[in-house]
Structure 1
Amino acid sequence: MNILVLCTGNSARSILGEAIFNQLGAGRVRAYSAGSRPKGVPHPGALRLLERRGIDTNSFRSKSWHEFTGPDAPPIDIAITVCGNAAGEACPVFPGTPIRAHWGLPDPADVDGSKAEVDAAFEATWLALTARVAAFLALPFEKLDPRELADHLAEFGRMEGAA
């Protein structure tokens, strides 16, 4: 199952979501991330967190969601927005008919303060996303019909920390 995690800038929350799905998914899922107006580079706070978690950051980049609309793009089964802006935007048409869900979280990239304060905001986002991803992976999602899966995804979007 291919999952696309979407945000406006594709520099923080969506990058973390991609990493968590791929790390915890253990081959059951393949995640990607993209943005409607990508910043061009991942946020330094996101990269620091991934490095602290032992995740190689070389493959992460900020990219447009249009990379996932062409004939050579991987088929997307689920598209999850993690910010309010991206949830309210008209998504491009992805090949197939992905299930859409919204898991809105506060943007850790908006935190002004010391490096420790920024890192704490990214850590809180990591924990909130990890809880949602773990709940998803605990499902027999391969056996659920699209409506059931969409209902579960919506429920996970309302978990603690939702924005």
Structure 2
Amino acid sequence: MADKLYNVLFLCTGNSARSIIAEAILNKLGGVKFHAYSAGSQPKGAVNPHTIALLKGLGHDTSGLRSKSWTEFAQTGAPPLDFVFTVCDNAAGESCPVWPGQPMTAHWGIPDPAEATGSDAEIAVAFQDAYRMLLRRIEIFLALPIAKLDRMTLRARLREIGQIEGATSPRPNVA
């Protein structure tokens, strides 16, 4: 199992900032062991320009990044998912599609930088903070001995990662 490629989906409502940032970070750091994707329950249709500026400034390839619906990953022919992480509170509280293969899920919510107001510098700081928090979670995730952990232990570790600095709580489902 050492050569297994793990597919990871990061979910957010708009798929324009946090989930895109997480996708870029994991694809850069995950090497040949991980492939990251991102999607949204209500995608904006475009990646936030501050997201692109931040990622380019940090040396990430942004050419393949796009805002897309999470339904792409529940369809026949979609990549089989091993992990699904919600990075915003709205997506964590929504009814998600059924993911083929029963991937491990966890909530890694952080504040939405796309909601930041103020000067360009203040908005840039919000995006940098989101990047820093996601980078830390992803670094911890990459350090896990995934193939050696039983499912219950792995699930607990993934949830613990979501509780580190900057964590937000998912909003409950509203019927």
Taking structure 2 as the reference length, what is the TM-score of the superposition?
0.91
Are 2:79 and 1:50 aligned?
no
- What number of residue pairs does the alignment pair up? 163
Distance in 1 of aligned mates of 2:97 and 2:39:
12
Q: How does 1:69-148 map to 2 (within 5 A)?
A: 69-148=74-153
Are 2:41 and 1:29 aligned?
no
| SS of equivalent to 2:32 | coil
**Percent of aligned pairs sharing the same letter:** 55
Specify every segment of 5 or more residues in structure 1 that has no aligned partner in the other structure, as ranges. Answer: none
Specify every segment of 5 or more residues in structure 2 that has no aligned partner in the other structure, as ranges. Answer: 1-5, 169-175
| SS of equivalent to 2:127 | helix
CA drift of 1:119 comes to 1.1
Distance in 2 of aligned mates of 1:79 and 1:58:
23
| SS of equivalent to 2:9 | strand
Are 2:160 and 1:155 aligned?
yes
Are 2:21 and 1:13 aligned?
no
Distance in 2 of aligned mates of 1:79 and 1:56:
22
CA drift of 1:143 comes to 2.1
Q: Which moved more, 1:143-152 or 1:38-47?
A: 143-152
Task: In structure 2, give the amino acid aligned to 1:129.
Answer: L
CA drift of 1:145 comes to 2.0
Distance in 1 of aligned mates of 2:90 and 2:23:
18
Name segments (4+ residues, structure 1) moved above 6 Å.
none
